[in-house]
Amino acid sequence: MNYNNPPSPLMLFIGTLKRIRSVCGQAVKLALALAISMLTLPAWSTLTSVTPTQIPINVATGGVYSFSVIGSIGETVSSQSLFCSSVGVPVPANGIIFPAAGGCSPSSVTPVNPVAAAGTLYGFTGTITPTQAASLLADAVAAGQPAGNRFMYWRQGFGTSGFAIVRVNLIEPTSAPPTLLPANINFGNVQVGQTSPSQSVTFSTGFTSTNPPLSISHPSWTVATSNCPALVASNLSCQITMTCVPTAVGALSGTASVTVGTFTASSNVTCNGVAAPASASPTLLPGSANFGAVAIGAAAVTQSFTLTNSSATALSGLTLSVPVGFSQTSNCGTLLAANASCQINVSFSPPAAQTYIGDLRVTAGAVTLSSALSGLGTTAPVIAGPSTLTDVSPKRLVGNISSDLTQVLTYAFTGNTSNVTPGEGVFCLDLIATLPAGNTTTGNPCTSSSQFARHPTLAGSFQSTRIGTYIRSVRETIRVPSAVSRFVRESGRNRYYFARQFSPNQYGVVAIELLGNVANQPIAITDMRMYFKQGGEQPIVFLKRGDALPMIEAKLAFTGSGWLRGAWEVVQPGDAEPTESDLIPDASLPLSQRGLQRRYAVVGTFQHYQTAVGQVTLTPPDLSRFPVRVDGAYRVVLRLFADAAIGADNDSGFASGAAGFALPTARYFVGSFASHGSTSALAPITLSQPSVNHKFAVNEAVNFRWQATPDAAVYLLEATDASGHLMAAAQVPASAIDLNAGYRAPQPWRTKASFGAGAVRWRVTAISRDGEAIARSEWRGVRF
Amino acid sequence: MTQHNFATTTLEPTSTLTLNFSESAEALTGRIAVFVGATDVTAALQLSGTAATYGPSPLGLPVGSHDVVVMFYDGAAWTAVARLPLVVASPETAGLTSTSAATQRSFKPKIDLTGALGHTRAASVGKESTSINTHTGGLQGSLADDWSGDAHGGWTLRAQVNAAGSSVRSQALRFAQRASAAEKVDLASYLVEGNLGAAKFGLGHINAGSHPLLMNGLSFRGATLSYPVSPQFDVTLNAHNGSAVVGADRLLGVYDDTHHFAGATLGFEAYPEAKGRLRFEAAVLDAAVARTQPGINTSAATSTQESAGIGLRILAATEDARGRFDAAYASSQYRSIGDGFSPTTLAARKNAYLFDGSYQVVRDLSFGERWPITSTVTFKHEYADPLYKSLGAGWAADYQQTSLGVITSVGPLNIQLATSARNDNVRRVATALVNKVENSQFTLSGHAAQLFNLTPSPEIPAINLSLTRSHQWGTHAPTTLDSTLIPNIATYAVTGGLNWSGAAWTFALTGGHNKQDNKQLGSERKDIATTTYGAQLGWRLSDTSMLNLGITPNINRQSDTGLRRTTWNPNASVSWQLPFDIALTSSANFDRSYDSLATTGTRNWGFANQLTKTFKLPVAWGSGSQAIQLSLRQFVSYANNRTLQGLIDTQTSTRNAGVTLNISIALF
């Protein structure tokens, strides 16, 4: 405003009106704001609850507290923070009371309340010191509160809204104060600079302290270690181990103490420092050690040596060495203090069968110490102690009266022996006593009157599994004659026992129940024979080279059900002959020996699922794969693979296909003498028609065609069934061969050939004018 | 057919058969068929006028008694117009009864010898660290003698002896039985057989016994004698060793009363002119087997036993060959004789029987040109008492089984349905389970080209499919038996394959899945599933070489453990006949199995290669042209086997290499 030029009255009036309008506008705006505030703000602020409403505080150690107060916005924390022995009114469940509701009998202790940022949630955290806790307890006692239930209220004010009440329960020790025992420790005379033998004191307490932690103090001339935890648990007992390390001659005394909160337990510690004696040389004892005879691969034999530094100065730069065959470990490190000692463990594990000698050598600068070592490595098993039969598996078998029973049994051993000797195997009806766990006994478990048969004890039927040289299990495949089961049934019994002895007088026992040929057992071979179908069942046949091998069959009797898998193999001239162990089925061998058998040329494989019908006849899938062109002796081997077993014994792994004997073989010899006259190998004939496994339609012409052979006078066409039985044949003069038609079979021939299943195989042989076979085709399948 | 030339004459193998017809034989071409036994000789007939002659043929007539059957086709069907008995004897005896009364005798020994000398080097790593140098010599010999005479209506005698030996005792025939006491050269087998008039006899490795429940196909060393008492009755006696044996000791087979078979069979042909149409047999057997006498090709007997029994059998066939029937019954008394290892059991007489029959119920029933139906029904029922046993027959005891099957061809399709039910514990012994097995199977096979009326070609495969269901479970459980031990397993399997076939090759794809569903209480999750695949190729690369490739992987899963086991096994082989009689054979195999937890596994691989060369040195001595043959064989093989079982890892490798020279000499 310019006072040099006063406004006109009109201008003043207009200005007044503007000011009034502005003031009114502001008032209206304020009123609108207030109205809006009234509509949008909550009701007048209040406290809602406190959580938790009770806090435990150990009066011996103090403790931390933490609680939260929940209220409405706008509430403020007042300075009215008091510990009260009472608040004048009952404290409601939410821990909130109002100013008019009661008073306070204040404690001498005032809470320290580091309040979190204001808001709807107020957090109070902090620490009540042991001293404060002790004062609170004193106030509670003064207020007449009974022991064991003493407390104080933390009354926290909040503006005009009220108080948050937190009950602080004062936890008093329920047992005696902590102790440190013994109260006096005397290390006696200790050479200056040396470390005394250790002594321990035990700290015990009956209370718990989550805070503050336990602290230990001890004199500076002692070295202390402890297994005490930082935070004290109830009924704690821990040790503090101390040694005295005097630095000067003279008596020393002090106090070792353990402090937890306001509690302290202490012991007096004394020690007398004495002067060091004259210097002594370090020693390595014993001066020699003989480790004896140890088998190669056996567990190492260990002996201990002590290196003592009796001198006044430390041994530094320690190095240890042992000769070949020995190894060492020690706690010596590279520095051995004066008047200290350490231990060296030397182990002997010979890599070869020979004598080992040498020195354990300790070098520290110019100092060299040694002890003589000697030992003998052996290949022979070393019987270092008795074996113990601990278990037999399985413990229950199922048999039937119709067939033998084959079962793989595994005997488990402990002890450090490398040799277990099987003894007798007996069958009995009754046991002297109930079998213990593991089904093993000391002494024959059978009643003498009920023993009725024995099982052969054949060295080859036992296989052992070792760890190192020590036997851990022995595996046996037993073969129980059907006569044994028949005898049991005739005796009116349904259960009997097999007991196998191991020297000197330990027995493993299995129970056998006659339940029939049950399906949930692994396949076990009880009997077998192998033969050629040539004028009956021939174990040995002689072939003219090039002749087809007669049908070969393996007839197996078995119990159980499951997969039967295996292979046909041929041992050829020049191959190493199979031993008995090479002919044992996989499932009868320990796992570790299943890959060690000799294997031969595979000429066919098979896998059949067998139901529990007891017997099966196996034939190779293709006879033409058997070698027949080189003179010499051949052997046919049936290989049975172990397979998974179904049923209750599934857990036993691949156990199906076991046999209690080496599988028999059949042999054939190829030479020039099986047929009369000819010594030449048969040339092949290629078959043209019909194709492999062709199915002739009913009205289809049955024509056979093949490659012509020079010098052939007549062809012989043969059709056999799967077992080699001749169904039909035809003679076709070579001159009559129409290469476009071959042999056209009339209906009667077809009827003969197709009688039965209708599936046959056929081949053609070329015959010379002299009646000699000069060429032959392979077999081919055909159906009618 | 009006006449023939062998009504009353015993012919030689080189004799000629003559058949006379009422009309021109040439006019009968295509309308007659002549069978000698099972052999169609029509194509070899020489037709002239009204006569048809056969022979002499390079093959010769088959020695023995046969039927010559003349079939005639009338435009609608084939019928047998003549069935003529034919007896053919060895050349030395044939015709003697009718042409000469003088005594004749011939002795034609024949000896073949072969020997093998070789050098073999074998090395094995893992199992043993040794090298083996082996020089082997082999000897295989055969002696065949033919004797004959004319006394008592003519007789023949044939003998054949086979022996084998080796300079290495472990290759001796009886090394498994006698170890170091085994003879290096040993008698493998021998057979002396012949006839004296109508009686036939055999000594050595004979085959006898035709009763399935009592005495079935005994092929042990022994003696047999058969004689046709009349056209209707025949009798056979046989005696054998208790097991298959080799060697010169126990030469006759029957050596003591604790290890033998002795039997007799009396046969009656109701229609002697049509043998086999209806035949009755009665048999008796006395047998004993000693535990201490294992056979050469069998597992050793586990106890000393003896049995004696009788058996009856009826065999029948319809005249049109559409049906056949076989019924057998046996009663056998068996006991085990205590020998310290096995106990003595009661001598119990028990029974067994079976019925077995089939009939072609539908023959060529036509539903259109391409879909004629032929169907055969088969039925079989078997029963054996508890404790039934005859040592002469591998017959299980204490079970009964009924099987029913239908084999049907519908056009090019071959369909088979089969079902069987079996149980043991036929007398319901209360302390034992009744174990039941039910099997059902459906198979289908055919060629796609015929099935879909396509022109056959190598690209169109043959098809086969098989579905099988088995159920095995226990019932009538003893009250004391824990129910979690009672088996209950259902098995489902499906397999199939496709087969292609060309002029020089075959290829097959196969697949299958088998699920063993364990329903046993408490073991319901112990199931096993197995899936198999396969591919196989056979390829004739040329007239002189053949290649085979194959692989049949399979996967085995165990539900309860989650364990999965996989197997791969590819293999390959090639054979090649080179010029100058050199043959090359090579093969390689690889086999690897492993499980999903890497706890068990095997890996085997190897290869083998051999080269053979044959020399022939013509010489002549004795009765004719003979030869010395030399076969040189060089071979090398390598095998590597590795097995992981838990923490145990085993590895072996073996290598064999060698050269063998085989000498074959035919004497006389």
For A501-527, how does the pLDDT look when each residue is reduced to its tens digit (9 = 90+)? 988 789 999 999 998 888 888 889 988
Q: State residue B328's pLDDT score.
A: 96
Q: Give me the pLDDT at residue A171, please.
A: 80
Count how many pairs of residues, chain A against chain B, have C-beta atoms within 8 Å.
Answer: 445
Which helix (H) or strand (E) element contains residue A88?
none
Task: Give the distance from residue A611's alpha carbon to the nearest chain B alpha carbon, in angstroms.
Answer: 7
Q: Are strands A540-544 and A666-671 parallel, antiparallel or unpaired?
A: parallel
A520 and B520: CB-CB below 8 Å? yes
When pLDDT is averaged across residues B386-396 and rounded to a whole number, the result is: 86
- Residue B130, pLDDT > 50, answer no
Q: Which residues contact A228 (CB under 8 A, 6 or more apart)?
A: A203, A214, A216, A236, A238, A239, A240, A258
Assess whether pLDDT exceeds 70 at residue B96: no
Q: Nearest CA of chain B to the CA of A337: how many Å? A: 45
Average pLDDT over residues B362-373: 76
Q: Is B575 on the interface with A (CB under 8 A)?
A: no
Cross-chain residue pair B141–A673, CB shorter than 8 Å:
yes
Q: Which pLDDT value is given to residue A756?
A: 58
Q: Which residues of B touch A483 (CB under 8 A)?
A: 302-303, 305, 336, 342-343, 345
Option in B176, B450, B629 nearest A672 (CB): B629
Provide the pLDDT for residue A210: 56
Q: Which of residues 609-628 of B touch A (CB under 8 A)?
A: 610, 612, 614, 616, 627
Task: State the pLDDT at residue B102.
Answer: 38
| pLDDT for the residue B129 | 37
Helix (H, G, I), strand (E, B) or coil at B625: strand
Work out the percent of chain B whose per-residue pLDDT is above 90: 24
Give me the interface pTM, i.e. the ipTM. 0.79
Which residue out of B69, B302, B326, B341 would a mutagenesis test of the A interface target, given it has the greatest number of A Cβ atoms within 10 Å? B302
pLDDT of residue A665: 92
Contacts with A609 from chain B: Cβ below 8 Å: 470, 491, 493, 514, 516
Q: What is the pLDDT of residue A119?
A: 46
**Beta strand pairing call for A524-533 and A658-659:** parallel
Alpha-carbon distance A588 to A660, whole Å? Answer: 7
Q: Is residue A260 scored above 90 in pLDDT?
A: no
**Residue B624 clears pLDDT 50, i.e. is over it:** no
What pLDDT does A648 receive?
Answer: 38
Query: Which of B166, B219, B633 is the closest to A537 by Cβ?
Result: B219
pLDDT at B395 over 80: no
Facing residues of A265 across strands?
A258
Q: Where does the pLDDT of residue A400 fall: very low under 50, low under 70, confident under 90, or very high at 90 and above?
A: confident
Stretch B537-550: mean pLDDT: 83
What are the E-state strand segments in A99-217?
121-128, 151-158, 162-171, 179-181, 184-191, 199-205, 215-217
**3-class SS of residue A357:** strand
Question: For the residues B381-399, what does the mean pLDDT come to?
Answer: 89
Q: CB B520 to CB A648 under 8 A?
A: yes
Is residue A297's pLDDT more than 50?
Answer: yes
Least CA distance to A405: which residue of chain B? B302
Non-local (6+) Cβ contacts of A438 within 8 A are A390, A391, A392, A412
A234-251 residue pLDDT tens = 677 888 888 888 878 888
Indicate whether B591 pLDDT > 70: yes
pLDDT at position A35: 52
- Measure the CA dihedral A282/A357/A349/A323, to 10°: 60
CB contact under 8 A, A646 and B627: no
- What's the CA gap between A60 and B316, in Å, rounded? 110
What digits encode the pLDDT tens for the residues A149-169?
788 888 877 765 678 888 888
A664 vs B298, B398, B493: nearest CB = B298
Contact call for residues A457 and A423 (beta carbons, < 8 A): yes
B396 at A interface, C-beta within 8 A = yes
Report chain A's mean pLDDT, rounded to a whole number: 78
Residue of B184, B203, B297, B642 to mutate, interface with A, max A Cβ within 10 Å:
B297
pLDDT tens-digit readout, B481-512: 888 889 999 999 999 999 887 777 889 999 99
Report the residue from A607, A743, A746 with minimal CB separation from B33.
A746
What's the rounded Cα separation, in Å, for the pair B311 and B350? 12
User: In the prediction, which pLDDT does A110 show?
Assistant: 75
Of B39, B424, B487, the CB nearest to A520: B487
Using CB atoms within 10 Å of the CB of residue B609, give its burial: 0 to 12 exposed, 13 to 18 middle, 19+ buried: middle
pLDDT for the residue numbered A386: 58
The confidence score (pLDDT) of residue A681 equals: 46
pLDDT higher than 50, residue A2: no
Tens digits of residue pLDDT in A562-604: 888 889 999 887 677 888 888 988 888 876 666 667 778 888 8
Cβ neighbours for B445, distance < 8 A, ≥ 6 positions apart: A693, A695, A783, B413, B414, B462, B463, B464, B465
pLDDT band at A42, cuts 50/70/90?
Answer: very low
Average pLDDT, chain B: 80
- Cβ distance of A732 and B506 shorter than 8 Å: no
pLDDT at A550: 82
For residues A389, A391, A393, A397, the Cα torsion angle rounded to the nearest 10 degrees is 90
Question: Which secondary-structure segment (H or E) carries B265?
Answer: strand B260-269
Q: How far is the C-alpha of B570 from the C-alpha of B550, rounded, in Å?
A: 6
Largest CA distance in chain B: 86
Average pLDDT for residues B406-415, to the nearest whole number?
84
Q: Which of B396, B462, B474 sits opposite A403 (nearest CB)?
A: B396
B-chain CB neighbours of A400 within 8 Å are: 398, 424, 432
Task: Give the model's pLDDT for residue B126.
Answer: 43
Q: Do B407 and A758 touch (CB under 8 A)?
A: yes
Say if residue A67's pLDDT is above 70.
yes
pLDDT at residue B540 greater than cutoff 70: yes
Q: Are the C-beta atoms of residues B622 and B628 closer than 8 Å to each other?
A: no
Q: Quick one: pLDDT band at residue B293, thresholds 50, 70, 90?
A: low
Q: How confident is the model at residue B98 (pLDDT cuts 50, 70, 90)?
A: very low
The pLDDT assigned to A174 comes to: 59
A595·B614 Cβ contact <8 A: no
Residue B374's pLDDT is: 82
Confidence check: pLDDT of A653 > 50: no
Q: A6-20, A115-129, B569-583, B641-655: which has the highest mean pLDDT?
A: B569-583
pLDDT at A193: 76
Q: Is B246's CB within 8 Å of A654's CB?
A: no
* Percent helix, strand and coil across chain B, each to the nearest 5: 5, 60, 35
CA distance A656 to chain B (A): 13
Choosing among A379, A400, A545, which should be mutated to test the B contact, i.e. which has the most B CBs within 10 A? A400
Question: Which B positions 68-107 lie with beta carbon below 8 A of chain A?
Answer: 69, 71, 73, 77-78
Which of A87-96, A348-357, A768-777 has the highest average model confidence (pLDDT)? A87-96
The residue that leads in pLDDT, A338 or A233, is: A338
- Distance CA(A118)–CA(B613), nearest Å, equals 108
pLDDT at B1 over 70: no
Residue among A784, A300, A617, A294 at smallest CA distance from B372: A784
Measured between CB atoms, which of A486, A601, A650 is closest to B387?
Answer: A486
Max mean pLDDT range (A175-179, A368-372, B388-392): B388-392
**Residue in chain B nearest A685 by alpha carbon:** B543
Residue ranges with strand state E in A627-784: 632-641, 643-644, 654-656, 658-659, 666-671, 683-685, 687-689, 694-695, 702-706, 714-720, 726-733, 743-745, 759-767, 773-777, 780-783
Q: β-strand A396-399 against A506-514: which pairing, if any? A: parallel
Give start and end residues of each alpha helix (H) in B475-624.
none
Q: What is the pLDDT of residues A533-572, one digit of tens each?
A: 877 788 888 887 667 788 899 999 998 888 888 899 998 8
Q: Is the pLDDT of residue A43 over 50?
A: no
Omega within 30 of 0 (cis) for the link into A504:
yes
Determine what percent of chain B is predicted with pLDDT higher than 70.
81
Compute the distance between CA of residue A210 and CA of residue A127 in angstroms, rounded to an integer: 12
Residue A26 vs residue B391, higher pLDDT: B391
The distance of Cα B284 from the centroid of its chain, to the nearest Å, equals: 25
Helices (H) and strands (E) in chain A, counts: 4, 58
Q: What is the model's pLDDT at position B225? A: 93
Once rounded to an integer, what is the mean pLDDT over residues A693-706?
Answer: 78
Least CB-CB distance to A728: which of B38, B71, B540?
B38
CA dist B341 → A461, A475, B348 (Å): 16, 21, 20
Question: Which residues in A lie closer than 8 A to residue B597 (C-beta atoms)?
Answer: none
CB contact under 8 A, B343 and A483: yes
- B543 contacts on A by Cβ (under 8 Å): 684, 686
Q: Looking at B259-404, list the stretches that DSSP marks H as alpha helix, in order from N- to C-terminal side.
A: none
| Gap from B400 CA to chain A (nearest CA, Å) | 11
pLDDT at B411 over 60: yes
Amino acid at A571: V
Question: Residue A17: pLDDT above 70?
Answer: no
Q: A475 or B314, which is more confident? A: B314
**pTM of the complete model:** 0.63
* A-chain residue closest to B177, CA distance: A580
pLDDT tens per residue, range B647-668:
556 666 667 777 777 666 655 5
Tell me phi and psi for residue A100, to 5 degrees.
Answer: -75, -5
Alpha helices in B517-594, H assignment, sequence order = none
pLDDT for A176-224, tens place per residue? 667 888 888 888 888 777 788 888 888 887 666 555 677 888 888 888 8
